[in-house]
Amino acid sequence: MADADGAVRVRLDLGYDGTAFAGWARQPGLRTVQGTLEEALAHLWRCDVAVTVAGRTDAGVHARGQVAHADVPRTAWEASAASAVRRLAGLLPPDVRVHGAAPAPPGFDARFAATSRTYAYRVRDDLAGADPLERAWVLAHPRRLDLGLLGEGSRLLLGEHDFAAFCRRREGATTIRTLLRLDWARDEAGRAVATVQADAFCHSMVRSLVGALLPVGDGRRPPAWLGDVLRARARDSAVNVAPPHGLVLERVDYPADDALAARVAQARQVRTLPS
C-alpha cells in the first residue's frame, strides 16, 4: 500500500515474550514492545517510525501472532525489503521477533481492519504446581478444574454484550464487544487452555474473564453467577484479574483485501446495544 507522497504501508507480523516488558504501548522510562520495535525500525529505515498495532497487550502478556503496520518512505522500504526480517533479527533483542515484513494491501490498518483477535490462556491445575520450565507462561492454579463447569459458564458469556463487568473503563471508550469464542480444552501436556476470540477486547477483558471462570471451574462459584456478573454491567470485587503471564495473543484475523476499507469504517463506529 502506497500513498500520494510515496510512503509504503508495511505489515509486520511479530511475536514476543512479554515477561520483561511493561506492556506494548510506549511509556517514558519503561521498556515496552512498541518502544523496542520502533527503535529497531528507525535504525533499519533511518527515519522516525510510528507503529500501529492490532491489539495492545498488558505488561507480562505474550504474543505469538501480533500484527502491526508502519508507514515508511518508499526509498527506505525498497532499500531494505529483501533483508528486512534478517536485519531486524540482529537489531531486536531475543524476546522480540519480526517474522514477516511486507507491503500491506490498499485499505489495510492493523488495528481497525482486524475482524477478530484470538488469545489462549494456559493453566496448570496440578496440585504440585506448574512445571518450573513453564512458570513464565503457564498459570499454576492450586485446585483441579472441571472442564464441564468451565464450558457451562463460558457459554453464558458468548455473543454481543456490554462487558463493563470484565473491563477497566477508559474515558470515552465503549465496553460493548462481541465474544465469538470462549472454550476450554486440555492440551497434550494436560494443561487447561482457554481459547478466547472476539472482534476486539477492552482493557484487561480476557484476564478478567479467565479470572471469573477459574472459581467456577474449581467449584467455588456456580456457572450461573457469571451471567449475573455480566448483566450487572459494573466491576465486581469478586472477579479477580488473572495474572498476565498465562496469556498469549495467538492470532489476528483480517477480511479479504477488497473488504478491508469497509471493515475499517465499521470498526471506527461507536457501538451501542439494542434498546
C-alpha radius of gyration, the chain, whole number: 20
In angstroms, the CA 232 to CA 165 distance is 7
- To the query of whether residue 146 is one of the catalytic residues in this protein, the response is no
The answer to whether 101 and 12 are in contact (CB under 8 A) is yes
Owner of C-alpha cell 458468548: 158
**Local structure of residue 2 (DSSP, 8 states):** B
Alpha-carbon distance of 189 to 220, in angstroms, equals 25
Name the residue type at position 15: G
Residues 6 or more apart whose CB falls under 8 angstroms from that of 90 comprise none
Say how far apart CA 3 and CA 7 lie, in whole Å. Answer: 6
| Residue 91 burial (10 A CB sphere; 0-12, 13-18, 19+) | middle
Q: Per the residue annotation, which of 58, 71, 125, 199 is the catalytic one?
A: 58
Catalytic residue positions, numbered: 58
